[in-house]
Structures are given as structure tokens and as C-alpha cells.
Amino acid sequence: MSALVLDGKSLSTQSEADLAGRVAELKQKNGGQAPILATILVGADPASATYVKMKQNACKRVGMESIAVEMPAHTSTRELLAQIDELNTNPNCHGILLQHPVPSQIDERACFDQIDIAKDVDGVTCHGFGRMAMDEDAYGSATPQGIMRTLEAYDIDLAGKHAVVVGRSPILGKPMALMLLNANATVTICHSKTQNLPDLIKQADIVVGAVGRPEFIQAAWIKDGAVVVDAGYHPGGVGDIELAPLVDRAAAYTPVPGGVGPMTINTLIQQSVIAAEKALLKG
């Protein structure tokens, strides 16, 4: 029997319809002012520029506005911190996205942590991470939060299941593991240097590929009936997991493309709308 396709593209389209209604209501209550997401792009990396443009387009589709900040590749940490401070104090800016990665001379962690937690809609600050880890109110990192929303939408039961997360990045693997733990899964965190990795993956009821290497995780390592989430995307349209042989063996899987990616962007937009709603309540 074919596996259930966890269609992030379809889910994001449905969510955008709801978000457009919430944005319209916000504008009505706020003198016509739409919620605003600020995007900061440092340097001219083509892939990063494409990702930022996709996020700006998603804002437009739901009626939001965006502030596009573009800074040269030679920007210093001090200059970037100053730009973030300017957006932190702008009452019309509800969310701030600093596109990763930044040029090597910049202290990226310091710049992420300069973002006001109320505007940390991409879930990148240590403060936000800590609150999320403690299961307190926070904006989760957009990719793992989008994965959690997808699993919930398709009624994937997580409680008591063994989830294996392959990857440990601060904005994907680590928050993914903690979100699954908070949802009562039993979680094993692995990475590219883990010994006996195939044996560990074979134990998994839920496999999350977040290692950043094309088809690093082999289909033969994954047991029949597992839920397979591929958070990677590489040239040629492949992810971190060898998906093709799993279409008839997995219980469910996220396609590449069209699975995790659309829900990542949608989650960023959703959290920006939530931030605008909270700001309006505070007056």
C-alpha cells in the first residue's frame, strides 16, 4: 500500500486562506496598517536572495507588508546589530527575519540574539529556544515548527513513539528534537558522526532527516511503517533521505519538494501574524 503523502504545499495553501482573513481583520482594527515582516539579507548569495524573495511573496499573498533590508557583504557585526536595533524599535515591524547564513566576519549568534523576542518569528534567539525547550510560550524555529504542524494536521500520533532526528543544527535538529520530546515522543538525536547510525535509524517509528547531505540516510536503514520527514533540499530535487524506495514501505512521508519547505515559510508568516495580533492587544 502506498504511503500517506504529508503534503506541505496543500496545507500551506489552506493556512494562507485563514491567515489572509486574520490579516484583513488586523488591518481593519489598526487603521488599515497591515502586519509587517522585516527581512535582512547580508551579501549577495543567490540562494539566500531566492529564499528571502519567497518569504516576501508569501507576505503579499496573505495581505501582509514586508521591509526588505539589503546590506553589503562587507557589513560588520556592529552595523548589523544597529540595523536590528532599528527594527526592534519600529512599532510597525512585527517580525524580523535575518537570513542565514551571514558572511563569515559577522557574529551571527550575537545578531540573532539581538532580535527582540517579541519579534523573533523565525525562532532563532537563545531566549526563544530556551522558552520553547521548557514548553513555554515562544515562537518555534520555523522549519521544525512547520513539521510539527504538518504531523498534527495529518493526525500522526507522537506520544510514546521513538523518533530519531538526524541533525543537530541550532535552528533545525536541536529544536526539532525538543519539540518532539514536548509532544511525548522518545527522542534520539544523531548526526553525521554518530556510530552505528543505520542501527539506530532502524529502531525509529519517526525519522527526521536534517543532516544537510543529499540522500545521506539510506532507505534500507528505515523500517517498514515508519513516518519519514525529510527536511533537506539539494540540487536535483533530492532531500537528506533516499525517498523513492520508501513510497510503498513507509506509513507516511514528506515529499521533496512540496513537503517541509512550504510549511517552513507558512510558519514564519503565521508567527508574524500572531506577533501582530499580540502587539495590537498590547496597544
Mind spelling out the 3-state secondary structure of 89-118?
A: CCCCCCEEEECCCCCCCCCHHHHHHHCCHH
Q: Considering the candidates 7, 122, 230, 240, report the single residue annotated as catalytic.
A: 122
Q: Considering the candidates 83, 99, 270, 271, report the single residue annotated as catalytic.
A: 99
Contacts 24+ apart (CB under 8 A), 46-55: 48/99, 48/100, 48/101, 51/99, 52/97, 52/99, 54/265, 55/97, 55/265, 55/268, 55/269
Q: Measure the CA–CA gap between 132 and 242, rounded to whole angstroms.
A: 31
- Asked if omega into 257 is within 30° of 0 (cis), the reply is yes
Q: Measure the CA–CA gap between 164 and 173, rounded to whole angstroms.
A: 10
Q: Is position 55 annotated as part of the catalytic site?
A: yes
13 Cβ contact partners less than 8 Å away, ≥ 6 residues apart? none
Q: Is position 113 annotated as part of the catalytic site?
A: no
Alpha-helical segments (H) within the chain: 8-29, 46-61, 77-88, 108-114, 126-133, 142-153, 173-182, 197-202, 260-282
Mind spelling out the 3-state secondary structure of 179-209?
A: HHHHCCCEEEEECCCCCCHHHHHHCCCEEEE
Q: Is position 33 annotated as part of the catalytic site?
A: no
Which residues are marked as active site? 55, 99, 122
